[in-house]
Amino acid sequence: MLNQVECTDETKLRMYQIWIEALRGGHAGQGLDIHGSDHLMDAAVESGDSKPVEASVHCIHRLKTAFPARCLAQMGAIYGGGSDEEVDAIGVFFEATGLAFQIIDDVLNLRGLVKPGEKMSQALKVVGEDITEGKVTAPIAKAMSLLKTKKERQVRTRCVTFIMRKQQHTSGQWLSGWPFPLLTGVLCCRHERRRSGIS
């Protein structure tokens, strides 16, 4: 598609660079998504502090979806002759939209998604699928600080962590070389992109 775009070589190069960043970010996010955030859940259950888990989930959502959305929007803005400030502002908006999309996707997994006039049995999403797959999602992460007692938090996470640990024996090992400190929740996506070599 970029080959057919009529613009200066400088603009085309800039667009290609952003496109490559989108691919790198998306792949990094997908890898981290496979690894999951369950390794942070024990501490969250103990402390009732959901921030590290939430930051980890948001990081995965950002890299997997929000960052590629940002990049593609920025490519359009650059092609349209936007200023640096406009390109950045459009990128920030699409990144926020991408992150919000993923969070709402987690919500819909719990509440279901049906077309108007259809029954829940015809839902476009299998309700609770993330729970049966043991996935730590945005609502589960957030619940860690909203549930008052440790006992309550344990009830919530047992089914999740149990399954994830079983799955890690097969699917998590190959990612052992990934920069997991990035997932501790204290770094924003921008820092993580830098560390991953994504400018």
Partner 1 sequence: MKSRPKDQAVVDKCIAKLEACDAIEACIVESREMVDKAWDAMDKVLEVRSTMF
Which of 28/138 has CB closer to partner 1?
138
Sign for the CA dihedral angle at 65, 67, 69, 72 comes to: negative
DSSP state of 116: T
The contact set with partner 1 (CB under 8 A) reads: 85-86, 89-90, 92-93, 95-97, 99-100, 103-104, 106-107, 110-111, 127-128, 131-132, 138-140, 142-143, 146-147, 152, 155-156, 158-159, 162-163
User: Are residues 46 and 74 in contact, defined by beta-carbon separation less than 8 angstroms?
Assistant: no
Shortest Å, Cβ 149 to partner 1: 11
Q: Give the SS3 label for residue 114.
A: coil
Nearer to partner 1, 156 or 193 (CB): 156
CA dist 77 and 68 (Å) reads: 14
Q: Which is nearer to partner 1, 165 or 194 (CB)?
A: 165
| Whole-number Å distance between alpha carbons of 50 and 59 | 14
CB of 89 to partner 1, least distance (A): 4
* Between 27 and 110, CB nearer to partner 1: 110
